[in-house]
Chains A and B, each alone.
Chain A
């Protein structure tokens, strides 16, 4: 496998394959006169094929990747403007998130089959979004990273603003405002870092590897680190989202179409965690140590606060959105624990949350497509009409609760084990979330699935169709495999996690 693709720019191919698909759709639209259903289905099918091909391409990249070698691999580097370069490269951390992205996108396309409004624009945007998301994880140049990172905002903004629910404009605006605010600060920090690195005579000052090495040699003094850390934090904390900059997420989720919700929860939220692991910890270790108490407090607040709020929600998507905030609290806590258990747990939790929250939003989408409401009180007794759906929904509910045997468990326990070694009270606070998550998730499930059907509108509701089945099967397998044999994933990510944890411990003040 390694020889077969020797010299191929695999990462670029993976990244821009969806863009090529988007261009194809645009070309097709130009030659198309009038709108018809057959054409729309053709567009959907094309998008599906492109995303599946992208997934397979990413598997080739995975095969060409040396699993146990440290550092960036599959590197590409083309000089570009202003000292920045088009540099791509992935390590195990980036590779695992890249695979998560390419794995989930075809499922999102499948879940978008019910879209009827401006199908080709929707699919073009979705494919562009995939390129930008993949790019975030592949970029090895900080400027390139920034462009992908911020670029992802735009298609998502449009997806919510055009294909969203009733209050989509408010939600899109809120989403945009929050994220942009953080981003601008990060932009300033990036520029400052490049300038400093260049001034110090670093050869390629915008390369992430170069910057990391520069930082490891004490390139950024502790005082400067504080400011740079805060600027990056502003951006990543919003993306995570951390308390108290989380309020955009429930609104965005509620208004977003199902597939956009899936991408938002499963992948966009992971960019914040990825950023902390890629930049904050390795480049600003002193500041990270300094701010660890702050992050811990915010993480525990996020876990407890968001769980309690989730408990009171009346809208299914809002409930799951708040539960995402709580679960991301485990991620930030684990990352800033800074030890191997914490970081491994955080990475695992990100991957697992990607699958489980994505699946939960798909579960909501299934009943939303049929009934056009997400109000919890509208439902009840679905198990009588939709037994298969109820079983699948139960599995992912249990995953959300963090039941051992599902992928939700290893991440939670490892982040807590990691945090316990730094501060036992933080771990204890986070462990409270384990109680609350059971309360809100099982209550939601009871209200939706159990009981008797009291709403006559639900009498004729149909169980999963073949397309929905196909959408769920990969997610079910992933949840169970990662839950029962997590060490396959953990062994893979351990190369990156160990490197980050060791460097961070080495830089301890």
Chain B
């Protein structure tokens, strides 16, 4: 095992997590927080030079092998730290957001008695995510994949006394496992077809023999299509895509910094990362890529519609995340892997910013999350307001074609244009979904901003909770209509400001490398990359800006000028359909949860008890009673009674052996 800074980037957080987790009783909260935050800080300091080296320097792709994890007759996984453009991007995304979230949590979790455990989990998550992005084969990727899954489970259920948090944690884990079912089969199929699970070997083998067929029963499929499809099932789970998206909104039960780190900036993008990492496979698989495109496009639109009707501030952002991940996927589906990664990169900044901003609001509003009971928060929390506004503008992708704009402008427009230019399956559908979703994104984002910060404060009529707990800072609503809130401490605001800088400049600065003139050198054959063409019709270039402004306008009308209008709409069936998330939870609960229970009961009470035991041991009831009576007689306690049974068997054997033995010997 050779030691190098890259290894420290990955393993440092693991040691910090173990240290803080195992010794939390002895070292105290301060040390636990300090050690974990410092270790992520170190990873951060070590990873930026690598990324900058890939952008402006001459950093070379390389693989550092640590030790053999599993190695059975060609099924080989070597624990590695793979450094190339892809992992360098992810290293800075993960470490930057993780470090800021660690810092922010020092303030946000200040009153929690289990802070040491919280920080230990956060660092463990960071380690798993880093192991995922630096993997050099599918099995290590899967290792990190499951590691972030369990970290997510632990952090969603961090407040384990809450039933809803526990249920959300289990839902997240099990839904992800449905995805992992496909992912694991994808790994097996790749090994079966190409004899390896190491990335480059798989990609080379696939490229060398792209028409290799895989028989599933009588039917033959192109192997690369099957593998790409199965792997994408895993990505659908991890990145909360349509059908497997149901866990993400519930995951908001976790503390808000967790939502920012795991359920916005990093873990949920692992699916996008995986698809781009395996771009060489998807590149060869037009059908699977078409499926990726369509699922991504549907998710982008679907989640945006649901986002329109949510009242919980975190849930709106969660659906927004879901929708933005859809953008990334359909970018990957149409072959614009660089655009997908670019949006992943910029999205990490402004979405983490929005979540941490929402956390600041929740913190300032004494744990109120329902936007219906907010309003007038701008005045008491001006910095949070300013940062959230930057995040909103970055999310909706405000910018003027040819001139420039916020981070989201560069990456989202790149995706929409890529879809327009592609002739892949579903690409035109994705283009229209993307444009429509941009309209909705703008609307729900401003809706969130206006409901929270503008207007007059609307107190919660059911304000039942923690009258006692918050006695000391229980405010009377100010008379000017602003909310009884307080601005968050600087330790929480500072991360917001850093992220806001990213939300403004990340697109502008890095566009030439991810997308523009330096892109071929930057990507350096790590993903399939084609020079995009630049002769789009004017309306395609301007469409995103126009729909974005339209969305803004509608939000202004509904939530600033005529706030009675949305209340009236809220009584309609369309709104109910959206508010209830298209009734996915109800459907899944009925089919899968109740179904599993019913089948489980059937197998247990009918299968095991009635049929198997009925025909088997209990069947001959009389015999059974007879024998059990004798057994009862026999089990009076003397060991040799029982030995007798064995003796009989031995004698029977002996007799038979002699008898047959003589016969056989003849």
Contacts and interface: CB of A to CB of B under 8 A. Distances in A.
Interface of A: 81-84, 118, 121, 124-125, 143, 146-147, 150-151, 153-154, 157-158, 161-162, 169-170, 172-174, 176-178, 183, 187-188, 191-192, 194-196, 198-199, 244-245, 247-248, 305, 308-313, 339-341, 344-345, 381, 383-384, 398, 403-405, 409-410, 413-414, 416-417, 420-421, 424-425, 427-428, 431-432, 434-436, 438-439, 442-443, 446, 449-452, 485-487, 490-491, 494, 498, 501
Contacts of B68: 487
A40 to B, nearest CB: 16
Contacts of A449: 160
A494 B631 contact: no
A484 to B, nearest CB: 8
Contacts of A494: 72
B70 interface: yes
A427 B185 CA distance: 8
A498 B71 CA distance: 13
B188 A177 contact: no
B612 A247 contact: yes
Nearest to A82: B657
Given A420-B192, A435-B181, A451-B163, A309 B603 contact: yes
Interface in B155-211: 157, 160-161, 163, 166-167, 169-170, 173-174, 177-178, 180-181, 184-185, 187-189, 191-192
Given A417-B191, A427-B188, A434-B180, A191 B653 contact: yes
B642 A158 contact: yes
Q: Which 10 A-B pairs have the closest CB atoms?
A: A340-B73, A195-B664, A312-B600, A308-B600, A420-B188, A404-B143, A450-B160, A309-B604, A161-B635, A438-B177
Interface stretch (B352-360, B488-496, B502-510, B643-651): B643-651
B641 to A, nearest CB: 9
A413 B184 contact: yes
B161 A154 contact: no
B188 A435 contact: no
A157 B642 contact: yes
Given A417-B191, A431-B181, A432-B181, A173 B661 contact: no
A439 B71 contact: no
11 contacts: A121-B639, A162-B635, A178-B617, A344-B73, A417-B188, A424-B214, A424-B216, A436-B596, A442-B174, A450-B160, A490-B71
Most buried by B among A157, A436, A452, A487: A487
Contact of B174 (A84, A310, A416, A438): A438
A356 to B, nearest CB: 16
Most buried by B among A169, A196, A248: A169
A312 B604 contact: yes
- Dominant SS among interface residues on chain A: helix
B554 interface: no
Given A247-B613, A414-B72, A427-B185, A161 B173 contact: no
Given A154-B646, A191-B660, A451-B161, A198 B67 contact: no
Contacts of B31: none
B537 interface: no
Contacts of B656: 187-188, 191
Nearest to A412: B184
Interface string B602-634: 011001100011001100000010011001100
Interface residues of B, number: 77
Nearest to A81: B654
Given A308-B603, A410-B70, A425-B217, A173 B624 contact: yes
Contacts of B627: 173, 177
Contact of B73 (A174, A341, A398): A341
A245 B69 CA distance: 36
Contacts of A490: 70-72
Contacts of B187: 413, 417
Contact of B173 (A121, A442, A498): A442
A311 B635 CA distance: 34
B184 A431 contact: yes
Given A150-B646, A177-B617, A312-B600, A198 B661 contact: yes
B639 A124 contact: yes
A313 B180 CA distance: 25
Nearest to A313: B604
Contacts of B180: 434-435
A247 B608 contact: yes
B657 A194 contact: yes
A416 B188 contact: yes
Given A398-B150, A414-B75, A431-B181, 15 more contacts: A154-B645, A161-B631, A187-B652, A417-B75, A417-B187, A428-B185, A431-B184, A439-B174, A439-B596, A446-B170, A450-B160, A487-B68, A490-B70, A490-B72, A498-B73
A92 to B, nearest CB: 14
- Dominant SS among interface residues on chain B: helix
A431 B185 contact: yes
Nearest to B659: A191
Contacts of B170: 439, 442-443, 446
A485 B68 CA distance: 8
A157 B627 CA distance: 14
A477 to B, nearest CB: 13
Nearest to A26: B639
Contacts of B71: 487, 490-491
A398 B124 CA distance: 15
A258 to B, nearest CB: 19
B637 interface: yes
Contacts of B663: 195
Nearest to A383: B160
A436 B174 CA distance: 8
Contact of B67 (A147, A414, A434, A485): A485
Contact of A247 (B150, B617, B643, B653): B617
Contacts of B153: 442
Given A199-B664, A308-B600, A383-B160, A172 B631 contact: yes
Nearest to A384: B161
Nearest to A453: B161
B570 to A, nearest CB: 34
A343 B215 CA distance: 24
A421 B192 contact: yes
B597 interface: yes
A147 B631 contact: no
B189 to A, nearest CB: 7
B262 to A, nearest CB: 17
Given A169-B631, A417-B188, A451-B160, A147 B650 contact: yes
B639 A450 contact: no
B637 A118 contact: yes
A297 B495 CA distance: 55
B72 A143 contact: no
A199 B661 CA distance: 9
Contacts of A432: 181
B72 A340 contact: yes
B612 A244 contact: yes
Contact of A311 (B146, B214, B597): B597
A345 B153 CA distance: 27
B589 interface: no
Nearest to B630: A173
Given A154-B642, A312-B597, A341-B73, A191 B217 contact: no
A398 B632 CA distance: 40
B599 interface: yes
A409 B140 CA distance: 12
Contacts of A413: 70, 139, 184, 187
B573 interface: no
Contacts of B599: 308
A27 to B, nearest CB: 15
A386 B376 CA distance: 45
Given A383-B160, A421-B192, A158 B635 contact: yes
A305 B653 contact: no
Nearest to A390: B160
A495 B224 CA distance: 34
